[in-house]
């Protein structure tokens, strides 16, 4: 037992959490007593005896779990424990439940954790659709309903879509650039372990008096500043998810910039690497804004500051500006990594170089720049300065141009190729082009101020965001999971079940989200637990679609779990792809490369006689020597 | 090599598909009943966008379906496609043409926006108060009488000055196509010229708490004489604490002047 307390791990982690929580409670107790106040405060926005431990306990857990051991010893001048790499790699399933610094283990940890929250959030969506299947109140009351859709959105955004991309990239990206690991493996592990804590805070808010946070994922002040305790769980959960995001993005930036294999110039990077470079640029600069916004709300709630209290000189609308300055770039944070995945999948399965590779990379950077200048299109009817609307409309519509470039380039890639559709990954990639085009079109409509005045805050918005986030991001996530499943697990998944999942998901997506456009334009507002009876039939159809969609995800889950355990063994390169991760075994060796690969050409040289993307140091006699990339060529 | 593609046929199919889609999509009245002068203009913009969108969607579908039909690998074919890395002219085209289209859409939207927000000389001012979870209305031109139903005369511009008393609410009458948030601490403005007599519903569209779903009010558009009779028959005066919320110095337009550097 004593040894277990000394060793980093779950026991020391639990102990750390308990001690830190006790410290937090004691701090509140003594401070309040010394001011002559009651020890416990139970007004709905306050609860310092809960809020302070919510900060200290997760930190205590992380410290106990071992996230800071190496750094603390080093900072304190103590002899650091020599790195014997026993925190590296996974020999049994138990190693996934440790502080593990192997990017491949962390990638799997991310993906499994985020999919856990995907299913929890999906269950909430099922409850929402069950309530909305008929007009009137059947299953949950209005207050619970508000909590359900708020938590659904927050789980899907902050602990599914954003981090699952970090998980896929964590696994694939270092392999793809020929690196042995991420630049900062310990920071990488810390980033991961903050994520389940964020998810626990979000889900745990259901235990609060007054229920889970219910001001929507947008948490607009002053509704959020006056909301019950659950809102503080949201404010703090976002801090952990955000810190995790920022640290990972920094890690990706340094990894991509400094750790590419010899010969991999910027113009030889696969588009997935470009996509994660772009995403990371967005994350590091934008995420602090939502962290700040949520701290301001928390301070307004718990400390009596007046950031968003008009009676105290605060400004209500500034919350929305700060919030959307993050949350609009966030939609690209949730989309750009997917663009990268689609490029890899389509090029590989069409056996064709990406059409217009450089313009594809530049389009990503164009989106990064433009996405910082469009945030106020979420606020056309919010009562902000009305002169700001037209410039924001123009930038919003312009962002359709780089996005269109990507769609057309993927289509161009298919031409004169040899398209293979046996892989479920390719099916999702192709379907993504269609669904994302629809989401893009409705996005352009929403960007136009007069149309937006009518349809903002209606089901049209719900339809749009689900077409871009489900039909867009989640389709790319499925494509990525199927594509790299053999690499990650060393086994093949079942293509038949993959097809069932694919067709059910496509069908469910259309039946669920297309009619939402119509009821929205016709007058059904969003975020309502009940609606006019005229929308009853459409809503019943939407709910049926949603249940089909939900059921199909169970097929996916079954396929993944069973194939991981029992699937046929995968070869190193089952898709005959070009990039470096396919040069090593499936799953890759513990330190990725026994010898450092050398990059000798572009990433998508399908059909070019004798061309290779990368070679291992030992070979190379039979291939042409590396040529420096020359401007104006597409190699 | 693009000469090998039946470009003319593909374009023809795209045009036919666009026409079919547009016709089908233009038949239903998506936005519902039109009951203000702004409604047909916004719906017209929507119709133009439906045609444009049908074209973009048809183009993507034709390109995709043709590629899948023509370039699908034969079973057992393990060879690669042709090593085509791009085509500068084509890439410039699909950068420039969409830019022109979206700039056109932006200019068109801007002109419609100016049109529907043009202020009339003789508009009727109505102050709107929103709070969890009810609407009420003050008629400053009629000795500040107070009502929980919104009555307005037909064919006259109404200028709504909106005041939220607790959290943000949003004012939406779908048949008018007008929506505006009510924001605590500032006065927001929306103008509308109802042009159809009838009874409508005012819907709160900004999440405002557990009663958000039921935060509705009855809206009556009636002939001017009937409206005058109704408003003069109101006896209740707007409570003082509501009137205190009316602070025109804090109106949206003034903030706009500050924000625009006095422009």
* Position B238 in a domain: yes
Residue for token pair 């996405």: A371
More confident of the two residues A630 and A135 = A135
Q: Is residue A148 part of a domain?
A: yes
Asked whether residue A485 is domain-assigned, the answer is yes
Residue A91: the pLDDT is 80
Residue A523 falls within a domain, yes or no? yes
The pLDDT value given to residue A259 = 94
Q: Which one of B81, B116, B151 terminates a domain?
A: B116
CA of A215, closest CA in chain B: separation in Å?
7
Q: How far apart are CA A301 and CA A340, in angstroms?
A: 40
Residue of A nearest to B179 (CA): A453
pLDDT above 80: residue A629: no
pLDDT of A86: 67
Residue B188's SS3 state is strand
- ipTM for the whole complex: 0.93
* Total domains in the fold of chain A: 2
- Going by C-alpha positions, the residue among A406, A421, A403 that lies closest to residue A345 is A421
Is this structure's pTM higher than 0.90? Answer: yes
Range of the domain at A509: 100-566
Q: Check whether residue B145 and residue B220 sit in a common domain.
A: yes
Chain B environment of A437 (Cβ under 8 Å): 56-57, 60
| C-alpha span between A388 and A601 (Å, rounded) | 46
Last residue of a domain, one of A566, A596, A622: A566
B151 falls within a domain: yes
Shared domain for A115 and A223, answered yes or no, is yes
Q: Which residues of B touch A407 (CB under 8 A)?
A: 60
Residue B127 has pLDDT above 90, yes or no: yes
Task: Supply the pLDDT for residue B46.
Answer: 94
Both B240 and B155 in one domain: the answer is yes
Is residue B89 situated within a structural domain?
A: no
Write out chain A residues lying below 8 Å of B259, CB-based: 385, 387-388
Joined tokens for residue A309:
């209290």
H helices present in A312-423, as ranges: 316-333, 336-350, 357-371, 389-398, 400-414
Please give the structure tokens belonging to residue A385: 């300065």
Q: Is the pLDDT of residue A401 over 80?
A: yes
Residues A48 and A124 in one domain: no
pLDDT (mean) for B145-152: 95
Stretch A147-167: mean pLDDT:
97
Are A428 and A339 part of one and the same domain? yes
Residue B263 lies in a domain: no
Residues composing chain B: 263
In the beta sheet, which residues pair with residue B135? Answer: B130
Is residue B12 domain-resident?
yes
pLDDT in tens, A269-281: 999 999 999 999 9
* Domain identity same for A108 and A46: no
Residues of A in contact with B36 (CB under 8 A): none
Whether residues B105 and B143 fall in one domain: no
Given pLDDT bands bounded at 50, 70 and 90, which one contains residue A413?
very high
- Verify that A43 and A188 share a domain, yes or no: no
E-assigned strands of A519-631?
A: 597-599, 614-616
* CB contacts, 8 Å: A576 with chain B: 78
Of the given ranges (A431-440, A567-576, A619-628, B102-111), which has the lowest mean pLDDT? A619-628
Tokens standing for residue B35: 């009951």
Range with the poorest average pLDDT among A198-212, B10-24, B239-253: B239-253
Determine, yes or no, domain membership for B235: yes
**Cis-peptide into B133, omega within 30 deg:** yes
The answer to whether residues A394 and A515 belong to one domain is yes
Tokens standing for residue B61:
């579908």
Write down which residue in A566, A585, A608 finishes a domain. A566
Residue span of the structural domain in which B15 resides = 2-70+98-116
Cβ neighbours of residue A219 under 8 Å, at least 6 residues apart?
Answer: A213, A231, A234, A235, A294, A297, A323
Do residues B146 and B111 share a domain? no
Q: Give the contacts of A496 (CB within 8 A, at least 6 positions apart).
A: none
CA B136 from chain centre, in angstroms, equals 24
Q: How far apart are CA A88 and CA B251, in angstroms?
A: 61
Same domain, A54 and A137: no
| Same domain for B102 and B133 | no
Examine residue A432 and state whether it is found in any structural domain, yes or no: yes
A78: region left, alpha or beta (phi > 0 left; psi from -120 to 50 alpha): beta
Identify whether residues B140 and B62 lie together within a single domain: no
| CA separation for the pair A100, A190 (Å, rounded) | 9
Are both A390 and A520 inside the same structural domain?
yes
Judge if A176 and A232 occupy the same domain. yes
Decide if B76 is inside a domain.
Answer: no
Q: Is residue B86 part of a domain?
A: no
Structure tokens at A555: 């097929």
* Nearest in space to B2 (alpha carbons), one of B84, B73, B60: B84
Same-domain check for residues A71 and A110: no
A262 and A397 share a domain? yes
- Supply the CATH number for residue B147's domain: 2.60.40.420
Examine the domain organization and report whether A58 and A105 are in the same domain.
no
Q: What is the pLDDT of residues A431-443, one digit of tens each?
A: 999 999 999 999 9
- Asked if residue B139 and residue B23 are part of one domain, the reply reads no
Q: Looking at the structure, tell me whether residues B136 and B60 fall in a common domain.
A: no
Within an 8 Å CB–CB cutoff, is residue A449 touching chain B?
yes
Rounded CA separation A504/A501 (Å): 5
The pLDDT-based confidence of A596 (bands split at 50, 70, 90) is: confident
For residue A451, the chain B residue with the least C-alpha distance is B42
Among B90, B116, B142, where does a domain finish?
B116
Domain count, chain B: 2
Residue A334 near residue A469 (C-beta atoms within 8 A): yes
CB contact A574 to B (< 8 Å): no
pLDDT tier at B254, thresholds 50, 70, 90: low
> Do B198 and B157 share a structural domain?
yes
**Mean pLDDT of the region A387-412:** 95
Mean pLDDT of B185-191: 92
Q: What is the pLDDT of residue B255?
A: 54
Q: Which of A248, A238, A236, A273 is nearest to A189 (CA)?
A: A248
Domain limit, last residue, from A34, A60, A75: A75
Residue range B3-53, pLDDT digits in tens: 688 999 999 999 999 999 999 989 888 888 999 999 999 999 999 999 999
pLDDT above 70: percentage of residues in chain A: 96
Q: Which residue of A has its CA nearest to B106?
A: A394
The secondary structure of A184-240 as a DSSP string is: -HHHHHHHHHHHHHHHHHHHHGGGSTT-S--STTTT-TTTTTTS-THHHHHHHHHHH
Within a domain: A461: yes
Question: How far apart (Å, rounded) are the C-alpha atoms in residues A303 and B92?
Answer: 55
Distance CA(A200)–CA(B132), nearest Å, equals 31
Residue A482's CATH number: 1.20.210.10
Helix (H) or strand (E) holding B101: helix B88-116
Residue A437 vs residues A152, A220, B24, B68, B189: alpha-carbon distances, Å: 25, 30, 19, 17, 35
Give yes or no for a contact between B167 and A300, defined as CB atoms under 8 angstroms apart.
no
Tell me: do B65 and B165 sit in the same domain: no
Structure confidence by residue, pLDDT tens digits, A451-497: 999 999 999 999 999 999 999 999 999 999 999 999 999 999 999 99
Structure-token pair, residue A128:
């929402």
Give A625's pLDDT tier (boundaries 50, 70, 90).
Answer: very low
Residues B154 and B172 in one domain: yes
B51 & B132 share domain:
no
Flag if B94 and A522 touch (Cβ within 8 Å).
no
The string of pLDDT tens digits covering residues A168-181 is 999 999 999 999 99
């Amino acid at each position: 037992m004593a040894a277990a307390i000394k060793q980093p791990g779950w026991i020391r982690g639990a102990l750390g959490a308990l001690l830190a929580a006790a410290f937090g409670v004691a701090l509140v107790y003594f401070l309040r007593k010394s001011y002559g106040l009651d020890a416990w405060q139970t007004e709905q926005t306050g609860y310092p005896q809960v809020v302070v431990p919510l900060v200290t306990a997760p930190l205590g857990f992380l410290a106990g779990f071992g996230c800071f051991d190496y750094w603390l010893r080093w900072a304190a001048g103590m002899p650091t424990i020599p790195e014997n790499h026993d925190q590296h790699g996974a020999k049994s399933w138990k190693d996934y439940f440790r502080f593990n610094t192997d990017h491949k283990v962390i990638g799997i940890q991310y993906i499994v954790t985020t999919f856990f929250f995907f299913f929890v959030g999906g269950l909430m969506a099922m409850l929402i659709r069950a309530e909305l299947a008929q007009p009137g109140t059947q299953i949950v009351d209005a207050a619970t309903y508000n909590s359900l859709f708020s938590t659904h959105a927050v789980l899907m955004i902050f602990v599914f879509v954003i981090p699952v991309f970090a998980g896929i990239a964590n696994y694939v990206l270092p392999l793809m650039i020929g690196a042995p690991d991420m630049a900062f493996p310990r920071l990488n592990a810390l980033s991961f372990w903050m994520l389940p804590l964020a998810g626990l805070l979000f889900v745990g808010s259901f235990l609060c008096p007054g229920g889970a946070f219910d001001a929507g994922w947008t948490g607009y002040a002053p509704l959020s500043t006056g909301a019950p305790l659950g809102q503080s769980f949201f404010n703090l959960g976002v801090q952990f998810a955000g810190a995790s995001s920022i640290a990972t993005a920094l890690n990706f930036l340094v990894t991509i910039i400094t750790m590419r294999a010899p010969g991999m110039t910027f113009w030889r990077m696969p588009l997935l690497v470009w996509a994660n470079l772009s995403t990371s640029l967005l994350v590091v600069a934008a995420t602090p804004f939502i962290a700040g916004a949520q701290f301001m709300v928390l301070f307004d709630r718990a400390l009596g500051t007046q950031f968003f209290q008009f009676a105290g000189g605060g400004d209500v609308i500034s919350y929305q500006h700060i919030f959307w300055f993050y949350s609009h770039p966030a939609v690209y944070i949730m989309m750009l990594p997917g663009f990268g995945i689609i490029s890899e999948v389509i090029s590989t399965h069409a056996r064709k170089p990406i059409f217009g590779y450089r313009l594809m990379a530049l389009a990503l950077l164009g989106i990064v720049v433009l996405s910082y200048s469009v945030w106020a299109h979420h606020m056309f009817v919010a009562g902000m300065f009305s002169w700001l609307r037209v410039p924001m409309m123009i930038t919003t519509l312009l962002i359709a141009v780089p996005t269109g470039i990507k769609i057309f380039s993927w289509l161009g890639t298919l031409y004169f190729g040899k398209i293979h559709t046996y892989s479920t990954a390719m099916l999702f990639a192709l379907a993504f082009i269609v669904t994302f085009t629809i989401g893009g079109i409705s996005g352009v409509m929403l960007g136009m101020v007069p149309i937006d005045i009518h349809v903002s805050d209606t089901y049209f918005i719900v339809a749009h965001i689900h077409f871009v986030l489900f039909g867009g991001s989640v389709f790319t996530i499925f494509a990525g999971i199927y594509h790299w499943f053999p690499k990650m697990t060393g086994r093949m998944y079942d293509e038949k079940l993959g097809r069932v999942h694919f067709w059910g998901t496509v069908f469910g997506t259309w039946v669920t989200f297309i009619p939402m456009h119509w009821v929205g334009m016709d007058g059904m507002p969003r975020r309502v637990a009940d609606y006019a009876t005229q929308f009853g039939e459409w809503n019943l159809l939407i709910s049926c679609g949603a249940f089909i969609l939900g059921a199909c995800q169970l097929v996916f889950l079954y396929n993944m779990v069973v194939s991981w355990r029992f699937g046929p063994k995968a070869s190193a390169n089952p898709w005959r792809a070009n990039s470096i991760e396919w040069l090593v075994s499936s799953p890759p060796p513990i330190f990725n490369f026994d010898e450092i690969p050398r990059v000798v050409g572009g990433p998508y040289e399908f059909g070019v006689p004798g061309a290779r993307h990368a070679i291992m140091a030992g070979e190379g006699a039979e291939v042409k020597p590396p040529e420096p990339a020359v401007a104006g060529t597409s190699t | 090599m693009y000469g090998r593609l039946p470009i003319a046929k593909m374009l023809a199919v795209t045009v036919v598909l666009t026409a079919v889609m547009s016709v089908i999509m233009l038949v239903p009245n998506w936005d519902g009943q039109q009951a203000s002068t702004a409604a047909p203009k916004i719906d017209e913009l929507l119709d133009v966008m439906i045609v444009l969108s049908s074209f973009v969607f048809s183009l993507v579908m034709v390109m995709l379906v043709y590629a899948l039909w023509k370039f699908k690998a034969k079973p057992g074919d393990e060879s690669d496609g042709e090593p085509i890395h791009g085509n500068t002219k084509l890439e410039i085209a699909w950068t420039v043409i969409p830019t022109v289209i979206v700039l056109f859409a932006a200019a068109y939207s801007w002109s419609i926006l100016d049109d529907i927000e043009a202020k009339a000389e003789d508009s009727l001012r109505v102050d709107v108060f929103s709070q969890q979870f009810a609407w009420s209305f003050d008629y400053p031109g009629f000795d500040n009488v107070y009502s929980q139903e919104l009555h307005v005369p037909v064919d006259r511009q109404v200028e709504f000055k909106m005041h939220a008393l607790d959290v943000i609410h949003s004012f939406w009458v779908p048949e008018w196509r007008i929506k505006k948030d009510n924001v605590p601490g500032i006065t927001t403005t929306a103008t509308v010229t109802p042009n159809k007599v009838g009874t409508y519903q005012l819907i709160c569209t900004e999440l405002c708490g557990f009663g958000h779903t039921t935060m509705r009010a009855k809206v009556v558009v009636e002939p001017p004489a009937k409206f005058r009779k109704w408003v003069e028959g109101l006896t209740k005066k707007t409570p003082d604490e509501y009137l205190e919320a009316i602070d025109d110095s804090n109106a949206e337009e003034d903030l706009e002047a500050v924000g625009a550097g006095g422009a």
